[in-house]
Amino acid sequence: MDALLVPTDNNELLGSDILPNKRRRKKSIVWEHFVVKKVDAEHIRAYCKQCEKSFAYITGSKLAGTSHLKRHIALGICPVTRQKNQLMTGTPGPRSVVTEPPKRRYRTSPVFPTFIFDQDRCCHEIAKMIVLHEYPLHMVEQPAFIEFIRTLQPQFKMPSFNTVQGDCVDMYLKEKQSLLNLVNRIPGRVSLALDLWVSNQDLGYVFVTGHFIDGDWNLHRRILNVIMVPSPDSPESFSQAVVSCLSDWHLEGRLFTLTLDQSFVNETAFDNLRGFLSVKNHILLNGQLLVGNCFARVLSNIAQDALGIMREVICKIRENVKYVKTSETHEDKFLELKQQLQVPSMKDLVIDDQTKWNTTYHMLVAACELQEVFACLDTSDPDYKITPSIDEWRQVEILCMYLKYLYDAANILTAPTYPTANVFFPEASKIQMDLFQASMCDDPFISYLTRPLHEKFDKYWSNCCLVLAVAVVMDPRFKMKLVEFTFSKIYGENAETWIRIVDDGIHELFIEYMTQMLALPEVMMEEVDDGMIKSEPPHDICHDHEGPYISTGDGLSDFEIYISEITSSHQMKSELDQYLEESLLPRVQEFDVLSWWNQNRLKYPTLSRMASDILSIPVSSVAPECVFDTQIKRMDKYRSTLHPVTVEALICAKDWLQFGSSTQTPSPTFEVTNAIVKMEF
């Protein structure tokens, strides 16, 4: 066997015959775990003392260094060192460092982090992954996934289906408790939006989403419940969902408005729902704001009607696009023609997804801008025989013009942050005016296309314009001025009547909030005028006396009474009137209405409370990713097989985890619930 060689820090090779009493230079700490052996004249290798695995050290004149040797020991790659370390520290895991304290050296060795394996944390992360990415629960029992995890960490014990299901539900319950505490701390009311999904088994799933503004003036949109109803067409399905939500989240008496797709509910069920809510919940403004229609669904239905009217022409355009996009040869020829014709359009042709009406809109817009190329393709490609006529292209252009109104309005609902209710009045009123004018147009095609669209949107406008108008009044850039301006265009001579309805409604609503804020006994209130309480006058200034009036003092008592009455009349202006009489703020795009009310909440304590409830009204009941859907949402086959409790836990937990934890420091003003969230299978 070759003589052992011990390297020093200056890479000198010391033979084993060196005298023990001869002073040596300090060597690297790595050589406590390695020895070197000469393999041949050109190669010297380092051998691990524990596992005897060899590593390159010197090859000819090249020195490999010691970094790879340090990794072998410090990162737990050596199986013998890893096993000894686990026995000494009781810490499982492949990436543990040697626990012996290093000897003092001239050269400091690198410090490596300690990796501690945690079974519970790994199980938690798997559950979180399943919730956030909607993976099936049974993936933990799939052999390929088990083998993959075993390769990463042999010591991890894969949980069963039931275990990971319980972990997901536990995560849901923990987040629900935090959100419940947040909801119980908000100073105002909660508005709900209801959306209906169905399954292949004809079961219904009502998604109940809560909208509210917290004490820091942050707007929240959270899925509160996903309730399975056996008969989605039943008039009681929505009522059942609302009852469960109000009870589950302690919202009895705190519901402000309810928004749903009214095409799901017939007139009888709609009236029953309104009556039911009036009994269960204290309503404001005689329930005129209570139940609203979903703006996104209305726009989607109108867009589908418009596309349906021109179904044949759109099919021809779609076939044109398919002809180009489904063949590389055709697409290359199309792009070549576009360059030759110098068509300025930057849009690309796309084949639409007919379950999303916005994709059809984008397809038509791009095709219209490239119609000149299609016309030339007809002459240069003998196989191309489906060119639309000039009149058909004109009809498609007109259709796109009116679809753009709907698209721009609906696109607001797809923003990363949910919009406040004040932004929808300008959009809805513009659609109402444009469709009305188009329906009266002399052009027969335009009137034919837009008349049924206007009739459908006019129903929405009639039912919801009060809510939209009240919301825009809470925007200090518009107030009542925009309502007056818009109604004068829409209603003409009858505008004053509609303006008075909005003005009276918002004053009546303010009185109700003022009454609730003051909470004074009825005997102390003589009358309420525009939200201000008039108390009885002092006894020394009383006009309701019997007998002749006798002046006292210096004869100026009447003057003092007169001045007192003038001063009181100026002070009797309510917060609402003061707000409406102040000048409008400049109209800027980046205006944050919630921040403005937060800054002015001390100036308008009652009005700001009312504004927080109004601005959080959900105008739409669908999720942002479903705004352009043309079909009712369906619960996938996998989730339909799960227990309804598990379905609710998975969907709600994903929604809440996307916003982070709801836990906040309790406000001293509001009581935090002590109720414990429970769930039973």
The DSSP output letter for 356 is B
Asked if pLDDT for residue 97 goes beyond 50, the answer is no
Q: How far apart are the C-alpha atoms of 415 and 323, rounded to whole Å?
A: 34
What pLDDT digit, counting tens, does each position of 55-84 carry?
Answer: 888 877 777 778 888 878 776 677 766 666
Q: What is the pLDDT of residue 345?
A: 86
Q: How far apart are the C-alpha atoms of 662 and 131, rounded to whole Å?
A: 17
Going by C-alpha positions, the residue among 59, 61, 91, 73 that lies closest to residue 28 is 73
> What is the mean pLDDT of the segment spanning 326-355?
91
Q: What is the pLDDT of residue 676?
A: 46
- Of residues 249 and 116, the one with the higher pLDDT is 249
Q: What is the pLDDT of residue 453?
A: 96
Which token pair is 104?
């003092």
> What is the mean pLDDT of the segment spanning 131-151?
94
Q: How far apart are the C-alpha atoms of 334 and 324, rounded to whole Å?
A: 7
Q: How far apart are the C-alpha atoms of 145 and 26, rounded to whole Å?
A: 49
DSSP string, 220-232: EEEEEEEEEES-T
> Tokens 């420091």 sit at which residue?
665
Q: How far apart are the C-alpha atoms of 599 and 595, rounded to whole Å?
A: 6
Going by C-alpha positions, the residue among 234, 235, 223 that lies closest to residue 195 is 223
Beta carbons within 8 Å of 616's beta carbon, 6+ residues apart: 188, 191, 211, 212, 213, 219, 256, 420, 421
Q: How confident is the model at residue 189 (pLDDT cuts 50, 70, 90)?
A: very high
Q: How far apart are the C-alpha atoms of 562 and 558, rounded to whole Å?
A: 6
Beta carbons within 8 Å of 459's beta carbon, 6+ residues apart: none
Average pLDDT value over all residues in the chain? 82
Which token pair is 294?
């979903």
Q: Lowest mean pLDDT: which of 132-136, 228-232, 272-276, 511-515?
A: 272-276
Q: How confident is the model at residue 535 (pLDDT cuts 50, 70, 90)?
A: very low
What pLDDT digit, counting tens, does each position of 591-628 carry?
Answer: 999 999 999 999 999 999 999 999 999 999 999 999 99
Q: How confident is the model at residue 328 (pLDDT cuts 50, 70, 90)?
A: very high
- For CA atoms 477, 481, 485, 486, give the dihedral sign: positive
Q: How confident is the model at residue 572 (pLDDT cuts 50, 70, 90)?
A: low
Q: For residue 602, give Cα distances in angstroms to 216, 531, 575, 596, 608.
A: 13, 17, 11, 11, 8
Q: Lowest mean pLDDT: which of 92-106, 172-186, 228-242, 540-554?
A: 540-554
Share of the chain above pLDDT 70, in %: 78
Q: What is the pLDDT of residue 380?
A: 80
Which token pair is 147?
């083998």
Query: How many degrees, rounded to 5, is the angle at CA 196 between CA 193 and CA 201?
Result: 160
What pLDDT digit, counting tens, does each position of 278-304 carry?
Answer: 766 667 777 778 888 999 999 999 999
Q: What is the pLDDT of residue 500?
A: 95
Q: Give the three-class secondary structure for 644.
A: helix
Q: What is the pLDDT of residue 354?
A: 94
Q: How confident is the model at residue 519 (pLDDT cuts 50, 70, 90)?
A: low
The DSSP output letter for 284 is S
Describe the strand order of the beta sheet including 291-293 as a list of residue ranges.
Answer: 219-229, 204-213, 190-198, 255-260, 291-293
What pLDDT digit, counting tens, does each position of 397-436 carry?
Answer: 999 999 999 999 999 999 888 999 999 999 999 999 999 9
Whole-prediction pTM value? 0.73
Residues facing 466 on adjacent strands: none
Asked if pLDDT for residue 450 goes beyond 90, the answer is yes
Q: What is the pLDDT of residue 272?
A: 72
Quickly count: other Cβ atoms within 10 Å of residue 661's Cβ: 12
Asked if pLDDT for residue 547 goes beyond 60, the answer is no
